[in-house]
Amino acid sequence: MKPAPFTYVRAATLDDALLKLQEWGEEAKVLAGGQSLMPLLNMRLAQPRYLIDVNGLPEMTGVDWCSETQALTVGALTRHRELLQHPLIETHAPLLSEAAQYIGHLAIRSRGTLGGSIAHADPAAELPLVLTALDSTLIVRSFEGEHSIPIGDFFLGYYMTILEPNELITAVKIPGLASNTGYAISEFARRHGDFALASAAAVVTVDERGTITKAQCAAGGVAPNAITCPAVNDSLQGARTLRDFSQAAQQLENFIDPPDDLQASGDYRRCLAVELMTQAIGQAYARAVGTKEAWA
């Protein structure tokens, strides 16, 4: 398979890339890691006239912690393998590092980028899932200026986002974890590196008695995009036992309606998502109370 003909352009600066996107609009595609884009080009599911390479642009790289705002900023061109290795990410957003372990294989993690995964909007992808659980904010630039988008407002459906053709994700801002907060991701795939049939992520905060006071849970692979689970979050208020976690996770059954496909039935995915959510909540709780024991 070969892609349709296109013109390759390497952007010299971020402004250069944004100017080209402004001029070419929907006729252009942005090349970062290319791990999702190249297969689409080769299968001719995407046929842009222009391919704009943004690799190496300093405005889209780097990881920075702001002690004043207690937020971590991660450049959109950060490779998946950097998510596993960067000390600031391991310290302030360890769930991001944990999720990166599940992404594809070494070659994919060496090239794929954070911004590329978000913009591609695969409903089974790990990074949109955990960034949703972490209540992250996307920094988006166009030639006309910069604005922020809460990640919960970004995804519209299968491979669809509110990103305009002339816009680029340049960075992601992730709030720092409060004290007594635990995190976890749980997923099931047929083989390591495959997209998960279902997945769940949980971030929970406990008080001095070990009671959950705040929860942010998300599910993946069971809807057109990674979704937050308000009913689960509400049910976890005051929870502190495995039974509580299981009952909270059961709220997913009425919240999701995954379709049947060649990989699994919708009913199977629904049951799987509930079990994975129970595991994720239990593991997050165990970390929050300062133990290494997994409750699932």
Taking only the tens place, the pLDDT of each residue in 15-64 is 999 999 999 999 999 999 988 888 898 899 999 999 999 998 999 999 99
**Angle, vertex CA 221, rays to CA 219 and CA 227, nearest 5:** 35
CATH number, domain with residue 42: 3.30.43.10
Q: What is the mean pLDDT of residues 140-160?
A: 95
Q: What is the mean pLDDT of residues 142-167?
A: 96
pLDDT, greater one: 190 or 61: 61
Residue 295 lies in a domain: no
Considering all CA atoms of the chain, what is the largest pairwise distance in Å, rounded to the nearest integer?
Answer: 63
Residue owning tokens 């994919």: 108
pLDDT at 14: 97
Share of the chain above pLDDT 90, in %: 83
Where is the domain boundary, 151, 175, 199?
175
pLDDT at 291: 54
Chain centroid to CA 187 = 13
Domain extent at residue 280: 181-288
Residue 269 lies in a domain: yes
pLDDT at 193: 75
What Rg value do the Cα atoms of the chain yield, rounded? Answer: 19
Number of folded domains that form the chain = 3
Q: Which two tokens stand for residue 223?
A: 């809807």
Taking only the tens place, the pLDDT of each residue in 219-271 is 999 999 999 999 999 999 999 999 999 999 999 998 899 988 888 999 999 99
